Amino acid sequence: MNTAAMDLSVEGLACRRAGRTLFRDVAFTLRSGEVLQIEGHNGSGKTTLLRILCGLTRPAEGRVCWAGEDIRDNYAAYATHLSYVGHHAGIKEELTPLENLAFAAALGGAGGGSPEQALQRVGLPFECEELPCRKLSAGQRRRVALARLLLVSSRLWVLDEPFTALDVAGRALVETLLREHAAQGGMAVVTSHHAVDLEGCTVQQLHLG
Amino acid sequence: MNQPSLARAWSALLKRDVMLALRQRGQLANPLLFFVLVVALFPLGMNPDPGLLRSIGPGVIWVGALLAAMLALESMFRSDFDDGALEQMLLTPYPLPLLVLAKVTAHWLVTGVPLLLVSPLLALLLHLDGEAILILLATLALGTPLLSLIGAIGVALTVGLRRGGVLLSLLVLPLYVPVLIFAAGAVGNAAAGMAVTGQMAFLGALLALATALAPLATAAALRISLD
């Protein structure tokens, strides 16, 4: 498949919630190696936009295309290229980080590396690997969620507030991961309230609201 | 990169759900205990005449099983909805109805099968004889997966609501009634020494129908709930 054509393009996207228009005429094209940063005040529809990009929520108008094809027409093909880390990352409290990642790998058709390597990369202390996730701190759980990105090696990352609950080192780590991902030809859509340092990447900004 | 494999995803989902249930045994024991208590209290609260117990026994056991199954329903998608695992399930390349079937199977294994296992004891308590107990087991084996499959549709529709419990009962109960009628009827017939093929065939047909259609409806309902 021609990788150069694997773009995410969005045309005339509009979203209405409870009779109120959150945003309209949102359009952008994200190419290989680019990062899109979405800004906007609370309630401006950042999360909804990400959910539309993932195909979870139906837009009121407009469409989302992957490689020139509406994602609804061939969702299974799109889903193999997509990783979404939302506010709730699908981390099971009763399972250990390793078990959570092993499950994510089984569900996501993984190819990146082993769960152990991924957890090491996101800096989760070794002794935490065998604890149930409910005993981890919020920041550590966030790291487990981010480790899934390394495990599944999707082309498109959709990250909702990836810096939440992370310390300074954790935020630097996310920035490094994003830079590496972009350098390898991946693309990412990120919402964040903070200034994100992505030197060397092509960063597009989108302001909502 | 490994190709995504439906079989691997299916079994991983089944295994994870069973493992989660086994780690939260309290939740698991609740409906089972309810079932045992309801059925065990009947002989105490009523005239303990073996003839009477034998005649109401099939109905009592099945009503108990049905209510216990309803009690256990909520947990099917609730935690997955709360922690985002359901979203991740929708974002996989696999057909959602098949993943739903894995979840329903896991739910039945941890909630339906225990009911099946304790029911012979409860049947003895209600003076059912050997033949009736066998048929009771057969109806539960066909009926409890049916309850899980039908219930899944209702749970999927109400999982987005904060207080969906009452609505869930109202949605699901009318659909449970045919199961109750045919199953309790079959056990009653067996206790009276009559033929049960008609009821059993009906239960089997309902199960086949629900296995084919309920996951489709559940998947559609989940997409609506998560929109």
Give mean pLDDT, residues A115-130. 87
Partner residue opposite B2 with nearest CB, options A82, A87, A111: A111
What pLDDT is stored for residue A1 in this prediction? Answer: 44
pLDDT of residue B162: 80
Q: If you count them, how many residues does chain B have?
A: 227
* Chain B interface test: which of A1, A54, A75, A88 (most B C-beta within 10 Å): A88
Phi, psi of B53 (to 5 degrees): -60, -40
Structure tokens at A158: 């959709």
> Residue type at A70?
D
- Enclosing domain of residue B23: 6-226
Whether B31 is in a domain gets the answer yes
Domain-located, residue B122 = yes
pLDDT for res B214: 96
Q: What is the mean pLDDT of residues B51-72?
A: 91
Is A56 close to B227, i.e. CB distance below 8 A? yes
Q: Taking CB atoms and an 8 Å limit, are B91 and A93 in contact across chains?
A: no
Whether residue B89 lies within 8 A of chain A, CB to CB, comes out as yes
All residues at 6 or more sequence positions from B63 whose CB lies less than 8 Å from its CB, including other chains = B38, B180, B184
What ipTM does this complex have?
0.88
pLDDT value for A36:
93
Show residues of chain A in contact with B13, CB under 8 Å: 103, 107
**Distance from the B214 Cα atom to the nearest Cα atom in chain A, whole angstroms:** 21
Q: What pLDDT score was predicted for residue A4?
A: 46
B60's enclosing H/E stretch is: helix B50-73
Instruction: Look at residue B47 in the predicted model and tell me its pLDDT.
Output: 81
Nearest CA in chain A to B20: A94
State pLDDT tens for residues A4-34: 468 899 999 998 888 888 888 999 999 999 9
Q: Determine, yes or no, domain membership for B138.
A: yes
- Give the integer Cα–Cα distance in Å for B7 and B46: 51
Q: Is the Cβ pair B91, A80 closer than 8 Å?
A: no
CA dihedral of A11, A12, A13, A15, whole degrees rounded to 10: -170
pLDDT tens-digit readout, A172-181: 999 999 999 9
Size of interface A-B (CB pairs under 8 A): 85
What order of strands is seen across the sheet that includes strand A8-17?
A20-30, A8-17, A61-66, A69-70
Q: Is residue B95 part of a domain?
A: yes
Q: For residue B215, what pLDDT is reported? A: 97
CB neighbours of residue A68 within 10 Å: 9
Q: Do A107 and B89 touch (CB under 8 A)?
A: yes
User: Do the strands A82-85 and A61-66 form a parallel or antiparallel pair, or are they unpaired?
Assistant: unpaired
* Residue B78 sits at the chain A interface (C-beta within 8 Å): no
Facing A108 at nearest CB: one of B20, B92, B227? B92
Q: How many domains does chain B have?
A: 1
Identify the band that residue A87 occupies on the pLDDT scale cut at 50, 70 and 90.
Answer: confident
Q: What is the mean pLDDT of residues B84-88?
A: 91
pLDDT at A111 over 70: no
Does a structural domain hold residue B1?
Answer: no
A37 DSSP β-pair partners: A190, A205
DSSP secondary-structure letter at B95?
-
Summarize the confidence of residues A183-200 as an average pLDDT. Answer: 85
Q: Cβ contact (<8 Å) for B83 and A110?
A: no
Residue B226, min C-alpha distance to chain A (Å): 7
